[in-house]
Amino acid sequence: MTNRQGLGMLALSSMLSSPSSLQAAFFYVSLYLVAVAQSGHKPCVQAFGADQFDANDPVESLSRGSFFNWWYFGVCGSGTVTIAIMSYVQDNVSWAIGFGVPCIIMMMGLIVFLFGAKTYRFYDSSDHNSASVMSCVTKAFKASRKRSAEGGSLVEHGERSQNVAIVEEVRSMARLFPIWATCLLYGVVFAQPATLFTKQAATLDRRVGQSGFQIPPAALQCFMGMSMVTSVVLYDRVLVPVARRVTGASLGITMLQRIGTGMVLAVATLVVAALVEMKRLSTAMDAGILDQPDAMVPMSLWWIVPQYALVGAADVFTMIGMQEFFYDQMPNAFKSLGLALYLSVVGMGSFISSFLISVIDGVTRRDGGTSWFANNLNRGHLDYFYLLIAALTALELLAFLYFSSAYVYKRKTVNVH
């Protein structure tokens, strides 16, 4: 509901011309409403969707592995269409319509969701909800300290054994933290297509066809979406069956192997992006337009497509891998928290990216220098930034391999009624 309200407020605020301070505040409140809605909606609805598969049923349990792939397929497919159409509408028709159409679609989605309410599976979590688990954990730790002081046994009775099991379950959650921490820099990579990649693309020759139609810079993210959609199909229908025959594992490759593969592709993405930026700077120099920031660099948009395609493929491995891993390895009472951990990688990555840009911008501007992120990109050095985060991501990958090699998967079963 909050998501729909936020989009509605955005559509309304975009209709206002020459906004006052109150109208500007209205606009920012609507943005924060969308952010709050997404933080609550995304982890819960995805966990709820995965919960529709019975983990006790071998066939349904196997199908759940594909659920995350096809969930992402739907998200990326709709996102690709939205970016292609809405970016044009917002630039050439109206921002109000650009926000209003998604608002209407969200309302339609809510109606469809409510119509299906009677068909959904619901889990009995009365004995294992997060509040009761944390209460048991607190009591168990207190009892453990008391018995240790008295020299008693922690497992003398059934209740104590249950408390021990719950404490061990929560301890297993702590083992997820190193994996989460070594995924954070991938969030930095994830932040680039919508920011610096788009800024890069805005300087290129984006005309297509004899009519000279010019593709909006933001619309180039469609190439990332198309790569995601294609990669999901290839992964689920080709790679998994082949890998399953080789490894004998139901998922083909493990969830951590999938995440690690995506990180390797992320490093490749950044290296390619740096090489393309070097080519762009060289072309701008040869054309004599280094000091003409508004001039179009005589370099086709197709040069930048590979980095969008690569980061799309990387997302299918790392992002979906994280979704499945944090959902699967969390206790039943904390499934949505597991997916919130995955989403926090994206949020933290954006903050880290902003922090790095702010620090580097300040350092490179010092003593009259030129910022790597100068408004005139022809005088900047996005290539240096891409190489820097490529190196940091490679180091992160090494740390990830260290912790993942020692990780022992936890299997859980749940009862459905």
175-410 domain in CATH 1.20.140.10?
A: no
Q: Does residue 50 contact residue 327 with C-beta atoms inside 8 Å? A: yes
pTM (2 d.p.):
0.77
pLDDT at residue 251, as a whole number = 83
What whole-number distance in Å separates Cα of residue 30 and Cα of residue 373? 29
Residue type, 169: E
pLDDT at residue 190, as a whole number = 92
- Average pLDDT of the residues in 394-402: 96
- pLDDT band for position 6 (50/70/90)? very low
Mean pLDDT score of the chain: 81
pLDDT at residue 306, as a whole number = 96
pLDDT at residue 130, as a whole number = 53
Asked whether residue 328 carries a pLDDT value surpassing 90, the answer given is: no
- Encode pLDDT of 277-297 as tens digits: 999 999 999 999 999 988 999
- pLDDT band for position 146 (50/70/90)? low
If residue 300 lies in a helix (H) or strand (E), which one and from where to where?
A: strand 297-300
pLDDT at residue 119, as a whole number = 82
pLDDT above 70 covers a percentage of the chain that reads: 80
pLDDT at residue 8, as a whole number = 46
- Encode pLDDT of 49-93 as tens digits: 777 877 677 777 667 778 888 887 887 777 777 777 777 777 677
What whole-number distance in Å separates Cα of residue 399 and Cα of residue 262? 15
Q: Which residues are within 8 A (CB) of 134 and not within 5 positions of it... i.e. 6 or more apart?
A: 170
pLDDT above 90 covers a percentage of the chain that reads: 40
Nearest C-alpha neighbor of 324 from the set 249, 239, 263, 259:
259
pLDDT at residue 270, as a whole number = 97
| Tokens encoding 315 | 């997302």
- pLDDT band for position 124 (50/70/90)? low
- The residue to which tokens 């020459």 are assigned: 18
3-state class (DSSP) for residue 382: helix
Q: Does residue 86 contact residue 101 with C-beta atoms inside 8 Å? A: yes
Asked whether residue 125 carries a pLDDT value surpassing 70, the answer given is: no
Asked whether residue 413 carries a pLDDT value surpassing 50, the answer given is: no
Q: Rounded to the nearest 5°, which phi and psi values hold at 214?
A: -105, 120
- pLDDT band for position 160 (50/70/90)? low
